[in-house]
Amino acid sequence: MPGEIMKKRGRGRRYRCDIASEALHRFFVSGEALQGENAVLRGRQARQISEVLRLGAGEHIIVLDNFGWEYKLRLTNVRKYEIRAEVVGKQPATGEPAARITLFQSLGKQDKFEWVLQKCTEIGVVRFVPMIARRSVVRRCGEIGENKVARWQRIITEAAEQSHRGRLPSLDAPIKFEKGMAELEGFERSLIASTRAQGVSLRDSLRGCGACNTGGVDLALIVGPEGGFTEDEVERGRTGGAIPFSLGPRILRTETAAVAATSVILYELGELGAEADLCERT
């Protein structure tokens, strides 16, 4: 029957992925949370399940181990600081694009950068590198404290859970623009946003990339702060192997440019808008 869990339960058994399962709340958990056929969630997640979502024994959730697997749990004991559950199914996690985009995002105002983290996680970025450019509001890496980084990580985690990502995007420590450009050698294609690159579209900048044709490409996307990159910075990016591109005649805000460019790239690589069977059925 649709929605029925396979009768032989266990972590090695796959569950039927239907509309009901897709609507379940999802949580990324540490390896310690999964203990054989059982699971234990504590801390913030336990409080969210018990006090915010008000779920009770017998209800189901999905947890992800960040190694490519998701588990369907049935809650057995719900308390404020501890949730106990049994594993009733396991299947490969979906939601990860074959194209691996690393976003080198220049730091701007805090709310705008956080918006980029949230939306680009939802779209499919796999790694974020906060970067300090010439026109960035933040001038020194030391201005970014541990509390702010922890907040950024929570934003990424919540966005990944909401958007059904299979893995958490990684978050690097903030770096200077020059250091970021020195790391481009490991990418199969690097693209840097420039208001002066009129006529060079993202589609054009992806041409000639053999790995892009297969979808499984490691790609660096470099987006400037408010006011954009300086001419010297664009030239430094070009020297490092990045191709300058334009998003058209309209000047976009930095957060809009990041989301728009990510979306266009994934669309061009067949990762957005294509029909796909998101659930592996057995």
What is the pLDDT confidence band of residue 240, given thresholds at 50, 70 and 90?
Answer: very high
pTM here is 0.85
Per-residue pLDDT at 139: 73
Rounded Cα distance between 275 and 270, Å, is 10
Kindly state which CATH superfamily the domain 100-268 is placed in: SPOUT methyltransferase, trefoil knot domain (3.40.1280.10)
> 169 with 153: CB under 8 angstroms?
no
Q: Does residue 280 surpass a pLDDT of 50? A: no
Domain locations along the chain: 19-92, 100-268
pLDDT at 14: 60
Sign of CA dihedral 147, 153, 155, 158: negative
Write down the pLDDT at residue 265.
93
- Cα angle 135, 109, 200; round to 5: 55
Q: How many CA atoms lie within 13 A of 180 on its CB side?
A: 34
- What superfamily in CATH does domain 19-92 come from? Hypothetical PUA domain-like; domain 1 (2.40.240.20)
